[in-house]
Amino acid sequence: MKKQRTTHKKTRILLIVIGILASLILALVLGGNLYIDSLLNRTIRSKKLSNEDALVSHEVLDQVKNHRIINIALFGSDNARKAQWNNYEMERSDAIKIISLDFDSKKIKITSLQRDTLIYIPDSYNDYDKLNHAHWRGGPELAVKTLNYNFDLDITQYVGLSFEAIETLVDLVDGIDITLPDGLLATQVMDLGATRNGNVFHLKGKQALGYCRLRKLDDDFHRMDRQNEVIFKILEKLSKKNLIELMDIVNEMLPYVETNLTNNEIKNYVSSLLNFDLKNINQFQIPSKGMDSIEKVIEYNGFSPIYMMENYEDLAKELHWNIYEDEDYQPSSTIVQLEQNIQNQFGGS
């Protein structure tokens, strides 16, 4: 009898210990979750966009429905060049990229779009303009609509960063190193204030930002390459940080971020990325042929240069090949009509 009472007592103690441990684990999970939410809540939040809000066509949805790919627009805005439009202070998106998360192949793809491309900005602007002006005319929501309308995309989510954020982030990772041959570009990088060891140049935040924005010695397509190079160098430095260091960097950076992603979406994407091949991020440019894709340079509504492309249907096909590896993609009726309208209004000599 005494032995039985002892056994019951040990069982109760074990159950109490298990209960306490379970409570502690739950508290840690909830506490960690609350802490992460408190960090993410420091971002600037915008409204969610439905497919209808973002002008995602049913034709596009039908053609991409068999792929598990999420496309997120990334806008890098020049907060020093704000302009007034429709009673709002807007910024031009001087860097326009599409981050594609492929959950089937576990790949990340980054597509850079030529900012001076002649496109049609839909409601509420309803006129032709250069691509980076969509953000200026109506903020990230109109920029997302413009991407979907002109390139047959299905974007409803976006992240916006000011150039100031890039400068801060580079400083937080103690600068980045880039390798350049002797020449005009190396000279310009030195003029920015970089330090040099052979052909390796060390850039702090201000110099990295200047490097991203150089384009007078070549063109905007080379500048897109430099922007991607800086992004990859930052990722390389971040991969060497421990968890505490990463959390400190996240805490510093989030106030610079504007997004319409929810906290749960961000956490789900981040946890999914742990299974992705982060060492092989594919990058593309649209148009892929660079300056050879431009039919002519025009001025419209007082703005120049604006690049009228040779073929807008080909741009959509190229984009879908890059993102979905779909070599048989057929552009939507919207793109076909856009091509015809642009040729009618801006074609010819």
Do 11 and 86 fall within a single domain?
no
Residue 114 has pLDDT above 50, yes or no: yes
Asked if 117 and 104 count as a contact pair (C-beta separation under 8 A), the reply is no
Q: What is the pLDDT of residue 295?
A: 92
Residue-number span of the structural domain to which 27 is assigned: 1-40
- The total number of structural domains in the chain stands at 3
Dump pLDDT digits (tens) for 135-159.
989 999 999 999 999 999 999 999 9
Q: Is residue 112 part of a domain?
A: yes
Do 279 and 308 fall within a single domain?
yes
Asked if 127 and 295 count as a contact pair (C-beta separation under 8 A), the reply is no
pLDDT band at 6 (very low <50, low <70, confident <90, very high): low
CATH number at residue 225: 3.40.630.190
Distance from the first to the final alpha carbon of the chain:
105
Do 185 and 226 fall within a single domain?
yes
Residue 258 has pLDDT above 80, yes or no: yes
Residue 45 has pLDDT above 50, yes or no: yes
Do 103 and 229 fall within a single domain?
no
Q: What is the pLDDT of residue 5?
A: 57
Do 66 and 128 fall within a single domain?
yes
- What's phi and psi for 128, nearest 5 deg? -80, 155
Q: What is the pLDDT of residue 236?
A: 83
Percent helix, strand, coil in the chain, to 5, is: 50, 25, 25
Do 97 and 192 fall within a single domain?
no
Q: Average of pLDDT values for 11-38? A: 56
Alpha-carbon distance 54 to 140, whole Å? Answer: 10
Q: Is residue 251 part of a domain?
A: no
CATH number at residue 56: 3.30.420.590
Alpha-carbon distance 349 to 345, whole Å? Answer: 11
Asked if 179 and 199 count as a contact pair (C-beta separation under 8 A), the reply is yes
Q: How many other CB atoms sit within 10 Å of the CB of residue 117? A: 24
Do 201 and 304 fall within a single domain?
no
Alpha-carbon distance 26 to 37, whole Å? Answer: 16
pLDDT band at 246 (very low <50, low <70, confident <90, very high): confident
Domain stop point among 235, 251, 282: 235
- Classified as helix, coil or strand, 284 is strand
Q: What is the pLDDT of residue 16?
A: 59
Do 51 and 155 fall within a single domain?
yes
Strand partners, 298: 306
